[in-house]
Amino acid sequence: MTHPLIKQWLNLKQKTHHCLCIGLDPDINTLPNGYEKNLEGLTHFLKDIIDASILECIAYKPNISFFEAYGIKGLLVLESIVKHIDNHIPIIIDGKRGDIGNTSAMQARYLFDYFNADAITLHPYMGFDSLEPFFNYKDKFHFVLGLTSNPGSKDFEELPLANGKTLAATVIETISHWNQTNHNIGIVVGATENKLKQARDIDRDLVFLIPGVGKQGGSYENAYTHGKNNQGLALINVSRAITGAINNKKTVKVDTKDAIQAILNQL
């Protein structure tokens, strides 16, 4: 069984010839010239980026925390951005949720029913019943944190367990098992060769959402080579290497396309 979102991503990959997910982590302070330094300017900027890239990516990943940082008015911007994105491009709302079951059910309502996200990101710590209310949204897709590439991944994720494996490896194996039910779960894996290989060795079919490409140091080529699954799919997220490459409002179309090409030319 192939999940409808996996089919959609594979179709988009066939059209665009790559697996680029564009991260939207907006910051008023770094808006290019020509945009007012306020939430209206931010909204225009994000819509311009989307218009310039809609045929060149397979997903958008708005990071809800960057909108929340502006309070409720920031969330209104997210709402308007999500509505602006064409229906044929899946939206991953990155919010790293997860809590006891009755609370997780509320989080799912917010992200899936209210914001209409196609996919989200989750924390594994509290185990299966903390994530089941999300997984029960069968038509949606759920990326659980697996193995990240931040320095703190050493603190817990890379600890060796009594079973001889690391915590992250065991988390990924467990997710791989959970995924047999609805086939609607993937994992988040950091964009280093070593981490991607470790995760890929555990399950060749799981879809990886891969942050950390671009300004965070990872290359698109590396991420694709080591992160793609058996179907040739991965969601390789690039945020600031695209949104930070715009010189001003007048050149946003060309600058967006150039930034995307610069990332992809790594492949």
Q: Which residues are catalytic?
A: 96
Contacts of 89 by beta carbon, 8 Å cutoff, 6+ apart: 12, 54, 57, 58, 59, 60
Is residue 152 near its own copies by the rule CB under 8 A? yes
Is residue 125 near its own copies by the rule CB under 8 A? yes
Tokens at residue 69, please? Answer: 């940082």
Is residue 76 near its own copies by the rule CB under 8 A? yes
Q: Can you tell me the distance from the alpha carbon of 213 to that of 206, in angstroms, rounded to the nearest whole number? A: 19
Nearer to its own copies, 108 or 233 (CB): 108
| SS3 state at 146 | strand
| Cα 227 off chain centre by | 14
Nearest to 110 by CA among 67, 146, 148: 67
Q: How many residues comprise the chain? A: 267
Is residue 71 near its own copies by the rule CB under 8 A? yes
Tokens at residue 211, please? Answer: 């942050």
User: Which residue of 174, 225, 229, 231 would you call a contact of its own copies, by CB under 8 A?
Assistant: 174
Instruction: Select from 1-9, 13-21, 150-158, 251-259 the region that touches its own copies (CB under 8 A).
Output: 150-158
Q: Can you tell me the distance from the alpha carbon of 48 to that of 127, in angstroms, rounded to the nearest whole number? A: 40
Is residue 37 near its own copies by the rule CB under 8 A? no
User: Which residue of 98, 186, 214, 218 would you call a contact of its own copies, by CB under 8 A?
Assistant: 98
DSSP state of 30: G
Is residue 83 near its own copies by the rule CB under 8 A? no
Start-to-end Cα distance in the chain:
30
Query: From the CB of 184, what's the least distance to its own copies, in Å?
Result: 18
User: Which residue of 5, 12, 19, 25 would you call a contact of its own copies, by CB under 8 A?
Assistant: 25
Is residue 96 near its own copies by the rule CB under 8 A? yes
Nearer to its own copies, 160 or 232 (CB): 160
Residues pairing with 141 in the sheet: 119
Residues pairing with 248 in the sheet: 33
User: Which residue of 75, 82, 262, 267 would you call a contact of its own copies, by CB under 8 A?
Assistant: 75
Please give the residue ranges that form the binding site for its own copies (CB under 8 A).
25, 63, 65-66, 68-72, 75-76, 79, 94, 96-104, 106-107, 109-110, 114, 123-131, 145, 148, 150-157, 159-164, 167, 170-171, 174, 211
